[in-house]
Structure 1
């Protein structure tokens, strides 16, 4: 008998499930079955991470909301016990620690500086420009050959063009920052590669901000450079880190929602038909909220660390313990959402936690909502015969990313109107047999 087999500590660690967990084959839109089992049987339980640490995993919606609103847990990535996603992500957070990974009052002070452009009122003024971007990109797709990769031709350019316009980043550099972003958010990126990618992005943004200090234009980085850096409220390096967060988050999350949301709708043709047949803003808004709930693309959890002992749901979390809020399964909690595994565009899903909750909830959610409303309200109406240009089994999903999505999405279409039964319902396995994930 080996030492490992007789050592109770080793045995206990082996009994703790690894996180993140694998999704079920043939069910790419659903949380891992292991998460559902924990939600039902042990809603606050220890899990084992890549570095051997064992933070608490919280799977129920109510517990997640309570903890995300609790000032006794910290977002500080430098705090002992913080449960990093990977070695590469830990390296990145060390080099480019932004207000996202700070606690109040410093978090609130820095966040206030960039709140104004992302308010609902300000974002609504961008809707016509976003509509023009979407229409232009659809025109380009329709004029070209098929199949086309929807990620490259549409899903990435839409939010990239918008965030570049807001920040004042030249869109001509999109190949550079999109490639760098992929390295930074991939869990498998080695620390030395993550460090080099972050350094490269920081150097690029530092040069850009230096240029804006000398030659300001009408954009957010110019305003921050002159209002905050020149007055000493921000250092230039602080602004570089802030710009990096806004640039990466501003296009990666929405791009993945566009592509993955399109794929989900194509696999639910009854829901897609209902969306395609309407121009009702309320229905389109409902679609966005339901897809945010259903897909929950932040699929490695919201990460925190306890500052003091916290008792929740009869479980004591000690000071210094890592905490992970698995919001992708929280958004499938049947105590909150009836028939949670069904995609129902008529559902009122506005209480989802896809954007988080509390003081650290996503700053850019108003912008993401408008972008998605324009996309979901336009793409399938203008290309009513849109369909997959490959087998679902051949689609490569981002299981290794901090943000879930697809690497490529080949799509095609025909010029005649869609006929009844033209689109295939259901999700199919490699053997061609239909399988139900609901």
Structure 2
């Protein structure tokens, strides 16, 4: 399970807001309670995000993507709202529902390949990583041959890579995105990339830089976050197999369980917080006063495992009340516009596996699973399973 460090538990009781040093040496404040983190993440007027300004702290070296001023998550105020008005209609719940059949077809293709090879298998390599690639290629109207390049680019993008390697990947990735946009404009269709290229709000459109940044971030999130979400959800269900068996027996529980699965074991581990700066003095629910200009980190795992918000936080509860926001997809105006799509992909992937392999189980003990600490997320390099 994606349990927080014992240090989070200690800080929650002793010092809910305290100073920490980031890997590059920058000092910021760390919030660890659900109430404080929600107050910070849902208030984009008093807590701003822009990491592109000189002097802004860096979570990791060579992670320029987080400092991109055209990235929607780095925007605040009217500029952020303008982009959200343009992008939100491209991924409404109704539009996502229209993609369900296509997603299920892609999932079945991947499962057919697994079944043909036979048991056992590595669900990370053969399933969780393959499905998002197929969906991105289909929704962006791209050939299968682009898959390996996307995986390599995204892998480097989220890794703590050397400067030269990162610069080369950024150049290749950016050139590919620009070519994809021009191809869509020359031959428009109905794929997601075409919807984004044509998206507008009362005549207002994204600039080329904003559009390309949006596509890059969607490809990265679509591959990295979805793959992580699927694999960690599977790990949670198969580690304590009664959870898996309960969903196999009663599939009606699955739709409402996705955010609970992600809360218990967030993609990437959830310990890397999003940084925000106080635009004015702000008193948080914990009583701590954040001074104007101070930066605060808001790790998802801190909020998600706060027992004040989620009693018995380490337990997966399919009937947990939905009244407390998990913030797995952000909060306030920065709530992820692709949240409906992400949850649908994970739900359909899990449901299809339950249909085809109801006796699915891990072939090693959960504590024996290795973890990858080479990028800013804690990754799962494999998930050995059989049926």
* TM-score after normalising by structure 1: 0.81
Match of 1:292 among 249, 262, 265: 262
Per the alignment, residue 112 of structure 1 pairs with 85
1:64-143 matches, cutoff 5 A: 64-70=37-43, 71-80=45-54, 82-89=56-63, 91-94=64-67, 97-143=70-116
Contact 2:91 2:341 in 1 (8 A): yes
Q: CA RMSD in A?
A: 2.2
Cα distance in 2 between the residues matched to 1:401 and 1:375:
25
Aligned residues: 381
Q: 227, 235, 242: which one pairs with 1:270?
A: 242
Are residues 1:376 and 2:346 paired?
A: no
Q: Structure 1 residues 191 and 361, CA, compared in 2 at 3 Å: closer, same or farther? A: farther
Q: Work out which of the residue numbers 318, 326, 333 in structure 1 matches 2:291.
A: 318
Asked whether the 8 Å contact 1:75–1:305 carries over to 2, the reply is yes
Answer with 91-100 or 129-138: which moved more: 91-100
In structure 2, how many angstroms separate the alpha carbons of the residues matched to 1:354 and 1:50?
23
How far residue 160 of structure 1 moved from its aligned partner, in angstroms, is 2.5
- Structure 1 residue 239: deviation in Å? 1.7
Give the whole-Å Cα distance in 2 for the aligned partners of 1:74 and 1:302. 11
Give the distance between the partners of 2:58 and 2:142, measured in 1 at CA. 29
Q: Is the contact between residue 305 and residue 322 of structure 1 (CA under 8 Å) also seen in structure 2?
A: yes
Q: Using the alignment, how far apart are the partners of 2:33 and 2:376 within structure 1?
A: 21
- Determine which of 182, 196, 219 is the counterpart of 1:210: 182
> Structure 1 residues 314 and 381 mapped into 2: Cα distance closer, same or farther (>3 Å)?
same
Alignment check: 8 A CA contact 2:137 2:146 kept: no
Match of 2:138 in 1: 165
User: 1 CA distance for matches of 2:338 and 2:370?
Assistant: 27
Greater relative contact order structure (CA < 8 Å, 6+ sep)? 2
Assess if the C-alpha contact under 8 Å between 1:355 and 1:361 holds in 2. yes
| Cα deviation, residue 92, structure 1 | 2.5
SS at the partner of 1:125?
A: helix
Q: Note the residue ranges of structure 1 that are not aligned, 5 or more in a row.
A: 1-27, 414-438
Cα 1:239–1:171 shift into 2, 3 Å? farther
By how many angstroms is 1:56 displaced?
Answer: 0.9
| Secondary structure in structure 2 of the residue aligned to 1:127 | helix
- Give the equivalent residue in structure 2 for 1:8: none
1:45 aligns with 2:15: no
Deviation, 1:226, is: 4.8
Say whether the 8 Å CA contact 1:275–1:284 is kept in structure 2. yes
- Of 323-332 and 371-380, the range deviating more from structure 2: 371-380
CA–CA distance in structure 2, aligned partners of residues 147 and 195 of structure 1: 39
**TM superposition shift of 1:399:** 3.3
1:366 equivalent in alignment to 2:340: yes
State the secondary structure of the residue aligned to 2:292.
Answer: coil
2:251 is paired with a residue whose SS is coil
Structure 2 equivalent of residue 220 of structure 1: 192
Corresponding residue for 1:55? Answer: 28
CA contact (8 A) 1:293 1:354 kept: yes
- Partner Cα distance (1:94, 1:353) in 2: 22
Paired residue for 1:175?
A: 148
Q: How many Å apart are 1:94 and its aligned residue?
A: 4.0
2:215 is the counterpart of 1:243:
yes
Quote the residue 1:431 is aligned against.
Answer: none
**Separation in 2, partners of 1:364, 1:258:** 16
Tell me the distance in 1 between the aligned counterparts of 2:166 and 2:172.
10
Aligned to 2:328: 354
CA pair 318-160 structure 1, distance change in 2 beyond 3 A: same
**Unpaired runs of 5+ in structure 2?**
none
The answer for the alignment partner of 2:281 in structure 1 is 309
What's 1:418 paired with?
A: none
**Is the 1:310–1:318 contact (alpha carbons within 8 Å) kept by the matching residues of 2?**
yes
Scaled by the length of structure 2, the TM-score of the pair is 0.91
Aligned to 1:22: none
- Contact conserved, 2:48 with 2:76, CA < 8 A, in 1? yes
Mapped partners of 1:324, 1:294: distance in 2: 20
- How far is the alpha carbon of 1:95 from its aligned partner? 5.2
Deviation at 1:349, TM superposition (A): 4.8
